[in-house]
Amino acid sequence: MDVFLHEVEIDNGETLYLVTTFGISAEHAAEFYQRRYDVEHDIRDLKVSLSLENPRCRSVDIMKKELLTSVVAYNLVILFRQAAEVAKLPPRRLSFKEV
């Protein structure tokens, strides 16, 4: 298996070293790394906001459904807040029908 070392200069002038088995450019490796960091923060936010650290279900199928419905609910709340910002109204002044 081939391993690639990528050197990426970051905004503060320091060098970030990324090791990957993918034959991609340093820029693509840096993009993937940034996305991974974002995904980890998103998962942490979901776990904390929706109390997903301690699932209440007892089967894998129900866990999948609980996770999916939690993510959908979380995304709806975020979109609702964004709609309120666009409309320049407090979120409680909007209705789902109007949004």
What is the model's pTM?
0.51
Strand partners of residue 18: 6
pLDDT score of 3 more than 90: yes
Looking from the CA of 44 toward its CB, the CA atoms found within 13 Å total: 6
Residue-wise pLDDT tens digits, 24-60:
999 999 999 888 888 888 888 878 877 777 777 889 9
